[in-house]
Structure formats: C-alpha cells, structure tokens
C-alpha cells in the first residue's frame, strides 16, 4: 500500500509520468493518489493563506479533483495529469501487472504446513469475484491470467490475489467517478489573478 500526492509547488510537469513509472516498477498494488490539500491551521495552510491561495469551499476529499488551495501548476494541467495517473495505474492491464510484480517480491512469514480454514464468507467472496470479474467484466482475460498464474506459482496466495483483484475493480470505479470532471472556468481565472498578483 502506498499514498501519493501531486500538486506541490515544486512539482514539474514530469511528475505524473514519474509517479506512474515508480508505482508500476515498485509493484505497489494498492496505490492511492490525491491532489494536495492544506489542512487547516498547518504551516502550509498559513503560508498559502498569506499568499491568498486558500480556497474556502473545497470538499476536503483529495481523491476527487478538488483541492482547498490554488496550485502553482495550471489547474487544468494538474487535474489532467492527476487523471492520467489514475487512468493508467487503475487500468486492468497495469493493475494486474503490479500484483504479479508484488508477488515476486512478497516474502510472507508462512509456516510450513499451516492450515487454512475455509469460511463461508470466503467461498461466497470467491464465487462473487468469479462472476463479476471473471464472467461479467470485459477485462476478464486479465483476471483469469492472474488466477491461473497464482494457482500455479503461488497457490497459497490465491485468496490474496482475488482480494487484490476486487480492490482493482473498486479503484476503476473511483476513476470512473472523476474522469469527466473539469476545472471551473471561474477557478482558472482566479488562479491566474492570484498567481499574477503574487508575482509567481
């Protein structure tokens, strides 16, 4: 699991591609990315307040395209770059590839001969994942590749693989929620005015 933020004053345009590459190569399956927000009364908040860069009506949810601050990077560029990260890392191909990378490096403290107790909820979750991800989902080919590969190479991790696959499905829904969101023109105009006034 890893958390990532974009929108810092020091972020270059290349930050989006850099984060994608790092997340993929590191095999960070549960990667959560958000836009920078400045929590109330923090040093960052006070600094941005002095620069007239705090927005009063943000949701505080940094997994949508809202932020409570005016970034130095153009808002549209920032939001489009943020969406590019989510679109890429939550895409089925890239997501399932990260699970495979993770399994190559994963060294659990598994006791030899440890017994695994099959509970009813596990069986229910298994069949539900097969139905949703292995039958209904248009990207089911990646699910079955992961399923068979894990069954052959890491049979003890099959439950974990299915759990991670389900998380990937959830993350795709997160991206679907924000993919068509756009930056308000009034906010863009305000950004230009504030940054121009601050001499940034």
- Among 190, 188, 189, 195, residue whose Cα is nearest residue 77: 188
Higher pLDDT: 39 or 56? It is: 39
| Residue 26 to residue 93: CA distance in whole angstroms | 15
Residue that has been written with the tokens 């270059």 in this structure: 12
Question: 138 is in which domain, residue-wise?
Answer: 1-200
pLDDT in tens, 53-107: 998 766 656 567 788 999 999 999 999 999 999 999 999 999 999 999 999 998 8
Number of domains making up the chain: 1
Q: Contacts from 69-73 at CB under 8 Å and sequence distance 24+? A: 69/7, 69/36, 69/37, 69/38, 70/190, 70/191, 70/194, 70/195, 71/7, 71/9, 71/36, 71/191, 72/9, 72/195, 72/200, 73/7, 73/11, 73/13
pLDDT in tens, 92-128: 999 999 999 999 998 876 555 555 565 676 788 888 9
pLDDT in tens, 137-150: 999 999 999 999 99
pLDDT at 152 over 90: yes
pTM attached to this predicted model: 0.87
Q: What is the pLDDT of residue 187?
A: 84
CB atoms within 10 A of CB 167: 15
């Amino acid at each position: 699991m890893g958390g990532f933020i974009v929108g810092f004053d020091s972020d270059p345009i290349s930050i989006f591609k850099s984060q994608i590459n790092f997340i993929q190569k590191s095999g960070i399956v549960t990667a959560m990315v958000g836009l920078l927000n400045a929590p109330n009364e923090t040093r960052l908040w006070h600094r941005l307040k002095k620069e007239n860069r705090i927005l009063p009506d943000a949701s505080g949810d940094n997994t949508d395209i809202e932020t409570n601050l005016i970034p130095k990077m153009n808002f549209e560029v920032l939001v489009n770059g943020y969406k590019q990260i989510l679109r890429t890392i939550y895409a089925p191909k890239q997501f399932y590839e990260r699970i495979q990378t993770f399994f190559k490096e994963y060294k659990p403290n598994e006791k030899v001969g440890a017994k695994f107790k099959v509970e009813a909820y596990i069986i229910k979750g298994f069949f539900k994942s097969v139905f949703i991800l292995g039958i209904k989902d248009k990207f089911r080919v990646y699910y079955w590749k992961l399923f068979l590969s894990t069954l052959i190479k890491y049979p003890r991790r099959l439950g974990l693989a299915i759990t991670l696959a389900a998380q990937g499905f959830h993350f795709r829904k997160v991206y679907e929620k924000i993919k068509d969101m756009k930056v308000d023109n009034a906010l863009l105009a305000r950004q230009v005015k504030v940054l121009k006034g601050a001499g940034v």
